[in-house]
Amino acid sequence: MTITQLKYVLAVAEHQNFTKAAEKTFVTQPTLSMQIQKLEEELDILIFDRSKKPIELTSVGRKIVNQAKNIVNESERMQDVVDQEKGFIGGEFRIGIIPTVMPTLLPMFLKTFTSKYPKVHLKIEELSTEEIIHKLLEGHLDAAIAATPLQQEKIKERVLYYEPFVGYIPESHRLFEKKKILSTDLDLDDILLLEDGHCFRDGVINLCRASKMAKNDAFQLESGSFETLIKLSHEGLGMTLLPYLHTLDLSEKQQKHLRYFEEPSPAREVSIIYPKSELKLQIIDAMYQVISGIVRGAIRFQDVKIISPI
């Protein structure tokens, strides 16, 4: 059994076709046929059911593919181990970002980062906190940006910035006339929330819980984007809360609806998180430096009270 053979198996399993898999692996089709046959012979099982069109995995085949993924994955980390030691900043870097951070933070640092570290090939994915934790632990991500603290034993956190919550209040709302708002002013029943799965939603709920136990009505409008929430808010359906960086993109007209909290303002903690194995720590360091440098200009320091995202 060789790593090459396993890669061939993975390619064929993915494309369900020897010829296409051969192209992708830059060898000829007979090479794949023979090497896979050799592996099947060695293990004394059939990995593929070639009678089906397109080709299918056998039931053992599926398990073998899983194990092959493990092996190939681990083998690809060998180069990371070496890069780590050399202090080389480059190679593939897979990073996950939660949806409520993605659109504001990404444009801010992406250009700077890629021009400063051209050898790093970024692969960015928008993922929920839950998916991020899972993928970090499985080794499918090198790092992620998420709201913290997460209290995950095998994941390290490095705080990038504290992002205050800002109220967005429609003119009809009871809080519109106030200059500054307090967390005790909030009532979960008239706050528009993001849909389930967003940790910013959970943060808001925690914030309200902290002041008073507001009952969550069965019927409540929820949306996947802040833009929609703002529009719904204008329809008089209630106020909403935005993360500070999002408020920077609003029109002047919209800015008039913003109401900041009295200090200490409730805020979310946004961190770069990564597995304790600390592979690619140099790239993580580099990204930390770039992002915190940029955000330092965008968020003035203030006294905040961190709201848990979970």
The tokens for 117 are 């570290």
The amino acid occupying position 267 is A
Q: Among its own copies, DNA, none, what does residue 30 contact (CB within 5–8 Å per kind)?
A: DNA
- Cα–Cα dist 115/127, whole Å: 25
Of 263, 245, 236, 226, the C-alpha closest to 176 is 236
Q: How far is the CB of 26 from DNA (least distance, A)?
A: 7
Contact indicator for 48, 56 with CB cutoff of 8 Å? yes
Q: Among its own copies, DNA, none, what does residue 3 contact (CB within 5–8 Å per kind)?
A: its own copies
Does 255 engage in binding with DNA (CB under 7 A)? no
> Which residues, 16 to 35, sit near DNA by CB under 7 A?
16-19, 26-35
Q: How far is the CB of 135 from its own copies (least distance, A)?
A: 17
Q: What angle do CA 119, 122, 123 make, to 5 degrees?
A: 150
Contact indicator for 145, 95 with CB cutoff of 8 Å? yes
Q: Among its own copies, DNA, none, what does residue 59 contact (CB within 5–8 Å per kind)?
A: its own copies
> Which residues, 48 to 87, sit near DNA by CB under 7 A?
48, 50, 53-55
Contact indicator for 299, 163 with CB cutoff of 8 Å? yes
Does 37 engage in binding with DNA (CB under 7 A)? yes
Q: How far is the CB of 85 from DNA (least distance, A)?
A: 20
Q: Among DNA, its own copies, none, what does residue 191 contact (CB within 5–8 Å per kind)?
A: none
Q: Among DNA, its own copies, none, what does residue 17 contact (CB within 5–8 Å per kind)?
A: DNA
| CB closer to its own copies out of 140 and 178 | 140
Does 2 engage in binding with DNA (CB under 7 A)? yes
60: number of Cβ within 10 Å: 13
Write the CA distances from 290 to 20, 81, 162, 233, integer angstroms: 41, 23, 16, 35
Of 293, 216, 303, the C-alpha closest to 285 is 293
Q: Among DNA, its own copies, none, what does residue 226 contact (CB within 5–8 Å per kind)?
A: none
Does 228 engage in binding with DNA (CB under 7 A)? no
Q: How far is the CB of 21 from DNA (least distance, A)?
A: 8
Mention every residue, 6+ apart, whose C-beta is less than 8 A from residue 25.
Answer: 7, 8, 11, 32
Binding site for DNA (CB under 7 A): 2, 4-5, 16-19, 26-38, 48, 50, 53-55
